[in-house]
Structure 1
């Protein structure tokens, strides 16, 4: 027996809108100032998130100046109607701008784990939620990996050790690289996670050409559907995945 769950992975860029490469320069102020339509963007993200059972966020501001001191993960949980939420602050730039991984869930997690990731520059992490008891219990991991290949390799090796014994696991987030990269092959060798059957471009949001956001599952979980959702903010499209999870993986 299986249970279908709908998951969303979204790099929300702290609610900032990017619609062309020139915006990185002309709208750079939106990454450090507490206005620019962020609240409206968050409301639109919450509407998308509310159509899912579990949501993994990257680049959610945990409450700095640029977000008007709003914890964006908490805000999205309240607006989206999620009973459970948690976040993992990873990087702060002088209190002006901060970044976090976030989890929104309709299912109650049994355990939440926060792990810092290795890398040349600190400020990356992986958030792991366990939803079922025992070795077969479902693990959901949310990560935002580095731009540099050397740091990314070390991070994927760490995640490989973390999920190496997991029989039912999902790893989702912004990997900043495609599945074909050699560091990804090392992850697949170390775990039961499977390469996706097809690639879905998610970046840049206004003209998607690169598949750098992923939802990866172990071999006991069936990926029944994968699609991108229109960007409401951010320079990434969000990924929505329908998964068939073994019932025993959710047993408490």
Structure 2
């Protein structure tokens, strides 16, 4: 396949921690108020994230507040779409603690999807989901999925089995998000064995952002897609670094 047969897309996956600031482990305690109150320069953080996101074609967000007290009742996915220059956006609220703090997966895109769907993920504790967008027609279309998986291995296993069923028949697929695990964990084999997704050829540490040691944020692509330039980028003051990657997609998958 030649360059003329493909289109290069710039992808980004970012756990934005609802715009909160965490620069050291002690901040989880000393700045815990920022996870419930609309203070702490979150708008400044969002503007920084929007500038970074705007340099990409498709962005998957995790821990974007859909409009609760802590965000000043701002739908952060919508705000980032407007500030970053994205014509298309969607979000999937997953966890709602009253109206104090909510969390959502989000999708920002400069390409028009033909279909967007969301699915609740299984797990011992509810509040996790996967957001899917399809570009192009038929079985050859490109599918982008955004997910935020659980901390526990047993819950992750059931969630990955569910996602594998959703993506099994899609030869041009991307799964991005906060997996809360390394790519070589046993439960990840469910994806590699049951879908066209492949393990990453190298790991990019993304957590914690101030001293990244663990590769727990991933952009997994199917075997028919080529990729390059995987790199970590600061997502304002989130406790995760964002992960960027370029992929080459056949034109037929985007028609």
Q: Distance in 2 between matches of 1:10 and 1:231?
A: 7
In the TM superposition, 1:61-140 aligns within 5 A as: 61-140=65-144
State how 1:27-38 maps to structure 2 within 5 Å: 27-38=31-42
Deviation at 1:99, TM superposition (A): 0.2
Deviations along 1:107-128, one digit per CA (max 9) or x if unpaired, are: 0000001100000001000000
What displacement does 1:182 show?
0.2
Structure 1 distance, partners of 2:228, 2:26, is 37
User: Taking structure 2 as the reference length, what is the TM-score of the superposition?
Assistant: 0.98
Aligned to 1:41: 45
Give distance in 1, aligned partners of 2:228 and 2:34.
37
Q: Of 16, 22, 25, which residue of structure 2 is paired with 1:21?
A: 25
The counterpart of 2:10, out of the listed 6, 14, 24, is 6
SS in 2 for 1:7: strand
**Which whole-Å deviations, capped at 9, do the CAs of 1:153-178 have from their partners, x for residues lacking one?**
00000000000011100000000000
Q: CA deviation at 1:216?
A: 0.3
User: How big is the shift at 1:230?
Assistant: 2.1
Matched, 1:198 2:205: no
- Does 1:58 pair with 2:66? no
Identify unmatched segments of 5+ residues in structure 1: none
Q: TM-score when scaled to structure 1?
A: 0.99
Partner residue, 1:176 = 180
1:244 aligns with 2:248: yes
Q: RMSD of the alignment, in Å?
A: 0.5
Q: Distance in 2 between matches of 1:26 and 1:182?
A: 35
Q: 1:224 deviation in Å?
A: 1.9
Tell me how far 1:94 sits from its aligned partner: 1.2
Q: Distance in 2 between the 1:178 and 1:75 partners? A: 31
Q: What is the distance in 2 between the residues matched to 1:100 and 1:56?
A: 11
Q: 2-side partners of 1:85 and 1:233: how far apart?
A: 23
Aligned residues: 251
